[in-house]
Amino acid sequence: MNVSESLEAAINRQIGCEFSAAHCYLSMASYFERVAYDGFAAWMHLQSNEERLHAMKFYEYLLDRGGVVQLPAIEAPRYEYGSPLEVFEASLEQENDVSKSIYSLYKLAMDEGDYATVSFLKWFIDEQVEEEKSVGDMIDKLKRAGDNPEAILLLDRYASERKPESED
Ligand SMILES: [Fe+2]
Ligand SMILES: [Fe+2]
């Protein structure tokens, strides 16, 4: 059973959303590299790569279901920030928007009785919980560090220890 036209359009929007997140995280990495926070930069590069993988999961799924991939335009991301905390707060806002977008995709799939898509989306729903948590934890740590440069450098080191996520 092929995917419906409305789901096809929504999945294409979601592909754009994931690529746009990848683009934003890459821009955040470039900000961190510019101000010599190498650990935060590495964290952002990993995150950007993960978002690209998310986009590709949707891309492959849409093709598997007989849909047409129509990549939407991607907006130029912000590249200027005032502090690491500001970057991670922008990142959390972005993740919250992505979660909402996945929930509405899920609702559309439910309404249409497209259970293959419902099942496919479950991985993303769980993934969003993890991503919101890891960004939220970093925000808590950065708030605790406040304006203390040594504490922020320790967090930069901590961020550099992040490992790429294993694919499942
Ligand atoms: Fe994502
Ligand atoms: Fe994400």
Written as one string, the DSSP assignment of 108-142 is HHHHHT-HHHHHHHHHHHHHHHHHHHHHHHHHHHH
Kindly tell me the burial class for residue 52, based on how many C-beta atoms sit within 10 Å of its own C-beta (0-12, 13-18, 19 or more): middle
Task: Tell the residue number behind the tokens 């990993």, with chain if given.
Answer: 46
Q: What is the C-alpha separation between 59 and 106, in angstroms, rounded? A: 16
Entry pTM: 0.95
Nearest ligand atom owner, CA of 19: 1
Q: How many CA atoms lie within 13 A of 106 on its CB side?
A: 14
Instruction: Give 16-53 pLDDT, tens digit per residue.
Output: 999 999 999 999 999 999 999 999 999 999 999 999 99
Hey, what are 61's tokens? 């799924």
Query: Given this model, what pLDDT does residue 168 score?
Result: 54
Q: What's the 67 CA to ligand 1 centre distance in angstroms?
A: 20
- Asked whether the beta carbons of 71 and 15 are under 8 A apart, the reply is yes
Q: What's the 54 CA to ligand 2 centre distance in angstroms?
A: 8
Domain boundaries, the chain: 5-160
Domain 5-160 in CATH: superfamily?
Ferritin, core subunit, four-helix bundle (1.20.1260.10)
Question: Between these two residues, 167 and 108, which has the higher pLDDT value?
Answer: 108
Query: Given this model, what pLDDT does residue 61 score?
Result: 98
Q: What is the C-alpha separation between 89 and 128, in angstroms, rounded? A: 16
Query: Given this model, what pLDDT does residue 1 score?
Result: 85
Query: Given this model, what pLDDT does residue 125 score?
Result: 98
Query: Given this model, what pLDDT does residue 57 score?
Result: 98
Q: What's the 25 CA to ligand 2 centre distance in angstroms?
A: 9
Instruction: Give 122-168 pLDDT, tens digit per residue.
Output: 999 999 999 999 999 999 999 999 999 999 999 999 999 998 887 55
